[in-house]
């Protein structure tokens, strides 16, 4: 049985990997880099400071990777002014998410090479440009070129190295110190590509801010922590069954399937899990539409998250009470975990989709 200190270290790292991504919508570049660094060093921390077995590390790591990537994707709805860049990021995110879900179901490492995580570095590129330029200077051709270069020269080699060759960079350099020159050459090549991409942009603006641009046209909340704005989440005239509902079902179902592979005692098939998540999403969306038609709107993300969590908690407790009467059962702890995951992502999706639609109204 693991000792107390090992478990404290384990849960401290896990909690950091859960909470750090929540800063990405407001501080995109530093927060996503912090999440990336945590992803890189967590296994090393466990190896150096604990005696915990790490046999299931791959699934654990991929689940948390996709959790923070989901928050990152949702932040593009809130922050990105370049619509074509957003469309590319959406494709890259879902392409990787499908690959991660297939990997968790099959454990074929080649899938992580076929479905590389190009989205992450594309996001970093966009946010790095935003520090000194208006992102609208990024043309369609430049964005497509950037995506191709990241995919071919960064992610494919990295995914092959980690998931197929399964090599460790430190061991590789230790075996032959001259290998460090190859790594340095690769880094210089990447820097050269970055210069080539940015060489013809307009002059850089003075100063920079790591914080995302404030949401325009909405009153800032000053209650509690005041972390968001007073925005309408559901439009009472909007169709209930629409693309947004479909995307939420796909997003949360894929994330839930990925997380289900690392949680002990999940007593459901992936299809049952996806259907259960879809039902909860439909109930949540129906509640938002009902409130919108009555003229009631969420005042903050925290308010919506708390209320939706309580609603979903009641639904799950009802299922837990009724299912044994029909020879059924659920794992209450794991189900509540899924519900919190669902609620967090749906809350952010609803809020930031409203911002995205308003900012790009009339755009093609």
* Bridge partners (DSSP) listed for residue 220: 229
Query: What is the predicted pLDDT for the residue at 32?
Result: 96
d(CA 187, CA 18): 30
Q: Model confidence over 251-284: pLDDT tens digits?
A: 888 887 777 766 655 566 667 767 777 787 788 7
pTM score, whole prediction: 0.85
Backbone angles phi, psi at 252, to 5 degrees: -70, -35
> Which parts of the chain register pLDDT below 70?
1-2, 54-60, 62, 216-242, 261-270, 273, 289, 291-299, 323, 326-330, 362-364
Contacts of 21 (CB under 8 A, 6+ apart): 31, 32, 35, 67, 68, 71, 72
Q: Could you count the other beta carbons within 10 Å of the beta carbon of residue 156?
A: 15
Which residues are CB-neighbours of 4 under 8 A, at least 6 positions away?
none
95 and 111 Cβ atoms separated by less than 8 Å: no
- Which residue(s) pair with 229 in the sheet? 220
Q: How far lies 3's CA from each of 7, 49, 52, 262, in Å?
A: 7, 12, 9, 21
Tokens matching residue 210: 């790591």
Contact 46, 9 (CB under 8 A): yes
Terminal Cα-to-Cα distance of the chain (whole angstroms): 58
> For residue 111, what are the β-bridge partners?
none
**What's the pLDDT at 157?**
93
Q: Length of the chain, please?
A: 364
199-251 tens-digit pLDDT: 999 999 888 788 998 776 544 444 433 444 445 555 544 555 568 778 888 88
158: its two tokens: 């990295």
Q: How many CB atoms lie within 10 A of CB 286?
A: 13
- Token match 């590129």: residue? 125
């Amino acid at each position: 049985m693991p000792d107390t200190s090992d478990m404290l270290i384990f849960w401290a790292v896990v909690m950091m990997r859960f909470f750090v991504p929540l800063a990405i919508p407001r501080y995109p570049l530093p927060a996503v880099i912090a999440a990336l660094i945590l992803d890189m060093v967590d296994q090393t921390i466990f190896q150096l400071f604990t005696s915990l077995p790490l046999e299931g590390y791959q699934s654990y790591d991929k689940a948390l990777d996709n959790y923070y990537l989901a928050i990152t994707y949702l932040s593009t709805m809130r922050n990105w002014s370049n619509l074509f860049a957003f469309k590319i990021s959406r494709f890259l995110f879902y392409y990787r998410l499908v690959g991660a879900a297939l990997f968790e179901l099959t454990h074929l490492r080649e899938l992580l090479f076929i479905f590389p995580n190009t989205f992450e570095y594309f996001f970093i590129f966009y946010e790095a440009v935003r520090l000194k330029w208006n992102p609208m200077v990024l043309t369609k051709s430049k964005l497509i070129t950037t995506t191709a270069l990241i995919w071919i020269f960064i992610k494919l080699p990295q995914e092959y190295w980690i998931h197929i060759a399964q090599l460790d960079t430190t061991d590789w350099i230790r075996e032959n110190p001259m290998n460090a020159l190859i790594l340095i050459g690769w880094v210089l090549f990447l820097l050269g590509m970055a210069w080539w991409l940015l060489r013809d942009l307009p002059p850089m603006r003075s100063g920079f801010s790591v914080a995302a641009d404030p949401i325009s046209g909405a009153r800032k909340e000053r209650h509690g922590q005041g972390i968001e704005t007073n925005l309408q989440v559901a439009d009472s005239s909007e169709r209930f069954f629409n693309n947004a509902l479909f995307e939420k079902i796909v997003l949360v179902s894929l994330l839930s399937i990925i997380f289900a592979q690392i949680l002990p005692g999940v007593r459901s098939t992936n299809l049952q899990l996806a259907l259960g998540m879809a039902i909860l999403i439909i109930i949540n969306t129906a509640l938002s539409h009902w409130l919108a038609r009555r003229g009631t709107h969420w005042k903050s993300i925290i308010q919506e998250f708390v209320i939706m969590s309580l609603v979903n908690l009641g639904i799950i407790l009802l299922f837990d009470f009724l299912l044994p009467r029909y020879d059924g059962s659920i794992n209450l702890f794991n189900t509540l975990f899924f519900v919190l995951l669902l609620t967090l992502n749906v809350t952010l999706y609803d809020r930031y989709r409203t911002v995205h639609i308003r900012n790009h109204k009339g755009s093609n």
